[in-house]
Amino acid sequence: MSKALVIFSGGQDSTTCLGWAKNRYDSVQAITFAYGQTHTVEVEQAKKIAAMMDVPLQVVHLDFFGDLVNSALISGGDVNAPHVDNEALPASYVPNRNALFILVAHAFSQKIKADTLIGGMCQTDYSGYPDCREDFINTLKQALNMGSEQNIKVETPLMFLNKAETFELARKEGVLDLVLQHSHTCYNGDPNMNEWGRGCGDCPACGLREKGYYEFKEQFGV
């Protein structure tokens, strides 16, 4: 029996991954991280979506993390600015966030006997997050498996898709309505409903999502 654990934020990408996983694995669980993000609406949406998809959800509180790192997603501020600690990266970058999530999820996978870990990391519509790159994810997987005598697979079905293709994948996997109605990606946590889903329409995450949605409609004739 195959079992997958999905790293789930309640956003567009990980909601799509949850649909993808449900259609491919015998058993699916999800894990969500509260790491001090200002847009806590994310965690609430994650709980709602997991319940609607009948997926058991583990919410992990990493309250300490926000005190240790700088990010506009934690302390607020201009999400369009460069990062205060590294001007090559955007202000919304959270140092080592994906490494921390994957580390914790990999440990939990061992307990629940999940053979595969799934994440919505994507290097195509690259938001400037070096910890979303495939090389990084694969290297981390190898290190974690080496350190635990495991052979847990890590799947990143969105890695080389653009946002339009991610919308199309959500449609194919039967979760497009869930993505549009309930998933949350906006850096400002704005629940305002648009044709392309929820969000403020001004932050970089909303910009990507809005642009991707209209490209999806045009490209796939939906």
Select 157 or 197, whichever has its Cβ closest to Zn ion.
197
Tokens 């990266």 belong to 89
Interface segment toward Zn ion; rule CB under 5 A; list 19-27, 32-40, 58-66, 178-186: 178-186
Positions in 133-162 near Zn ion (CB under 5 A): none
Query: Closer to Zn ion at the Cβ: 94 or 206?
Result: 206
From the list 24-32, 79-87, 194-202, 209-217, the region that binds Zn ion by CB under 5 A is 194-202
AA letter at 64: F
Q: Does 186 bind Zn ion (CB under 5 A)?
A: yes
199 binds Zn ion (CB under 5 A): yes
Measured CA to CA, the distance from residue 67 to residue 81 in angstroms comes to 20
Coil, helix or strand at residue 83 = strand
Interaction of residue 189 with Zn ion, rule CB under 5 A: no
Size of the site for Zn ion (CB under 5 A): 6
Check residue 91 for interaction with Zn ion (CB under 5 A).
Answer: no
Question: What whole-number distance in Å separates Cα of residue 191 and Cα of residue 210?
Answer: 14
Give the length of the chain: 222
Out of 30, 120, 203, 212, name the contact with Zn ion by CB under 5 A: 203
The smaller minimum CB distance to Zn ion, of residues 11 and 199, is found at 199
How far apart are CB 9 and Zn ion at their closest, in Å?
14
Q: Are strands 116-118 and 86-90 parallel, antiparallel or unpaired?
A: unpaired
Q: How far apart are CA 182 and CA 35, in angstroms?
A: 21
Give the whole-angstrom CA distance, residue 1 versus residue 148: 22
Asked if 11 is part of the footprint of Zn ion (rule: CB under 5 A), the reply reads no
Distance, CA of 174 to CA of 10 (rounded, Å) = 16
75 is in an annotated binding site: no
| 203 assigned binding-site residue | yes
Q: Report, in Å, the least distance between residue 112 CB and Zn ion.
A: 33
Residues 60 and 81: their CA atoms lie apart, in Å, by 29
Residues annotated as binding site for Zn(2+)?
186, 200, 203, 206
Interface residues with Zn ion (CB under 5 A)? 186, 188, 199-200, 203, 206
